[in-house]
Amino acid sequence: MSAHEAVTPTAAREHSAARTEEDFRAVYAAAPAGVWAAPGRVNLIGEHTDYNDGFVMPLALPHTTLAAASARTDGVLRLHSGGADGGVVELRVDDLRPAPDGGWAAYPAGIVWAMREAGLPVGGADLHYDSVVPTGAGLSSSAALEVVTALALNDLYALGLAPQRLAQLAQRAENAFVGVPCGIMDQTAAACCTDGHALFLDTRDLTRRQVPFDLAGEGLRLLVVDTRVKHELGDGAYAERRAGCERGARALGVRALRDVPYAHLPEALEKLSGEPVVQALVRHIVTENQRVEEVIARLDAGRTRAIGPLLSAGHASLRDDFKISCAELDLAVDTANAAGAVGARMTGGGFGGSAIVLVEEADAAAVTTAVTDAFTAAGHAAPRVFTAVPSAGARRLK
Ligand code: ADP
Ligand code: MG
């Protein structure tokens, strides 16, 4: 595989839908009732704001998780994934209970559980998954898996649920069944994004807006640099940041840090001067929400290139104030910027995963080579670099 792998969404999708259907037949010895897709995502801007009732702005990737599925009438849930070892997982929907360490099957089983917990008439199903979303790369393969399952069940059981509702059920599944305290961004991105747009989401009231993000038309490209590392301190650090943000909100007497206006930041920081760690977390969240609003303003004004410095400022804030970057992410961002990128930042939870790089189309190859060479020179494994074409959210393919 070349270091710079451009994805052609339509070709990849058609090829996979047919293969997923075929694989379903091989696993379950019957044709599926349908095939569904849900994408991975990158977050353009708005990092760690989603558990502070703040703003986020993800876009869907052309990379999808596909599910071929049929309903069953006997209350049995069978799950199989081309990307997981261990064959078919068989469960009874009546027996589903949240439990730690449920393995990959906990994500789809959690969807069935969350739907039934919400009183929805969902029974058994046979599901086979086939994914090209890299797992554990900060591109939200987990939300793609959840949302494609939710959409398949929505259709198989004629639930008539809107995409945002499917996203909420998926978040409930991940929080309560899988046991991951994630926000609502990833699932909303997988469920609600549209082709050619970034999705603005207010995570407090779930207001959404599709913001046109026509990279190709502007001669620009958004690269994803998957560092292929995930440093261990990740999970505990997430809980720590979250608790620190909550402490900050309490100290400032607001419901969430979203309620600290950018114009009031100096007073807020002054109030927190005895707690430098919390102070820095607050500074990141408040400036990050402001950056989301500024990115939207610049995109609305047709100034796509002008978002570059905001991306880079977001990276500095995550590195210096939120302290969740790592050597590989900093190297990717610094090298890309030095090689002429318009802007770059780490994206996702941090301590590894992926960075995004906004580049002039003409510079994409040189920036990719510069980053790859820098990784080699530093003794890191080669990153995986690909183009993020703003793509569609979850949908039925067959
Ligand atoms: P991310 O969502 O950033 O990719 P997570 O750790 O949240 O990382 O989720 C990755 C996990 O989701 C995998 O370890 C696996 O359990 C599950 N998963 C995602 N996609 C698939 C798939 N296609 N097949 C089986 N399991 C998957
Ligand atoms: Mg995830």
Residue 141 or 234, more confident? 141
Q: How many structural domains compose the chain?
A: 1
Given this model, what pLDDT does residue 2 score? 36
Surrounding ion ligand 2 within 5 Å at CB are 140, 142
Mean of pLDDT values over 321-349: 97
Q: Would residue 392 count as lying in a domain?
A: no
Look up 126 and say whether it is catalytic: no
Sequence-separated (6 or more) residues with CB below 8 Å from residue 36 = 66, 67, 69, 148, 151, 152, 155, 394, 395, 396, 397
Q: Which pair of structure tokens corresponds to residue 327? A: 């050597």
Is the shortest distance between the CB of 138 and ligand 1 below 6 Å?
Answer: yes
Given this model, what pLDDT does residue 181 score? 87
Alpha-carbon distance 389 to 106, whole Å? 30
Query: Poorest-confidence range of 72-81, 96-105, 261-270, 306-315?
Result: 96-105
**pLDDT value at 5 more than 80:** no
Q: Would residue 373 count as lying in a domain?
A: no
What are residue 345's DSSP bridge partners? 356
Is the shortest distance between the CB of 70 and ligand 1 below 6 Å?
Answer: no
Please compute Rg for the chain using Cα positions: 21
Q: Would residue 342 count as lying in a domain?
A: no
Closest CA to 397 of 214, 130, 27: 130
* pTM across the whole model: 0.94
Q: Give the count of beta carbons closer than 10 Å to the beta carbon of residue 25.
A: 14
**pLDDT value at 152 more than 90:** yes
Q: What is the mean pLDDT of the chain?
A: 94
Buried b (16+ CB within 10 A) or exposed e, 352-363: bbbbbbbbbeeb
What does DSSP say about strands 4-5 and 384-387: parallel, antiparallel, or unpaired? Answer: parallel
**pLDDT value at 3 more than 70:** no
**pLDDT value at 349 more than 80:** yes
Q: Would residue 154 count as lying in a domain?
A: yes
Mean of pLDDT values over 44-55: 97
Mean of pLDDT values over 279-305: 98
Q: Would residue 27 count as lying in a domain?
A: yes
Q: Would residue 272 count as lying in a domain?
A: no
Q: Would residue 122 count as lying in a domain?
A: yes
Closest CA to 3 of 391, 374, 389, 390: 374
Is the shortest distance between the CB of 131 and ligand 1 below 6 Å?
Answer: yes
CA of residue 187 to ligand 2 center, whole Å: 9
Closest CA to 278 of 329, 331, 313, 322: 322
Q: Would residue 166 count as lying in a domain?
A: yes
**pLDDT value at 6 more than 80:** no
Given this model, what pLDDT does residue 231 score? 87
Atom of ligand 1 nearest to the CA of 135: 4
Closest CA to 43 of 173, 268, 159, 200: 200
Given this model, what pLDDT does residue 159 score? 98
Given this model, what pLDDT does residue 314 score? 98
What is the per-residue pLDDT across 165-216, written as a single tens digit (0 to 9) for each?
999 999 999 999 999 988 999 999 999 999 999 999 999 999 999 999 999 9
**pLDDT value at 123 more than 50:** yes
What are residue 202's DSSP bridge partners? 55
CA of residue 238 to ligand 2 center, whole Å: 13
In which band, very low, low, confident or very high, does the pLDDT at 100 lie, cut at 50, 70 and 90? confident
**Structural domain of residue 189, as residue ranges?**
4-211
Alpha-carbon distance 393 to 192, whole Å? 5
What is the per-residue pLDDT across 139-150, written as a single tens digit (0 to 9) for each?
999 999 999 999
Is the shortest distance between the CB of 84 and ligand 1 below 6 Å?
Answer: yes
Mean of pLDDT values over 249-274: 98
In which band, very low, low, confident or very high, does the pLDDT at 1 lie, cut at 50, 70 and 90? very low
Percent of the chain surpassing pLDDT 90? 89
Q: Are 53 and 256 in contact (CB under 8 A)?
A: yes
CATH for 173: 3.30.230.10
In which band, very low, low, confident or very high, does the pLDDT at 9 lie, cut at 50, 70 and 90? very low
Atom of ligand 1 nearest to the CA of 138: 3
Given this model, what pLDDT does residue 206 score? 96
Ligand number with the minimum distance to the CA of 348 = 1
Given this model, what pLDDT does residue 15 score? 56
Alpha-carbon distance 12 to 46, whole Å? 29
**pLDDT value at 4 more than 60:** no
**pLDDT value at 12 more than 80:** no
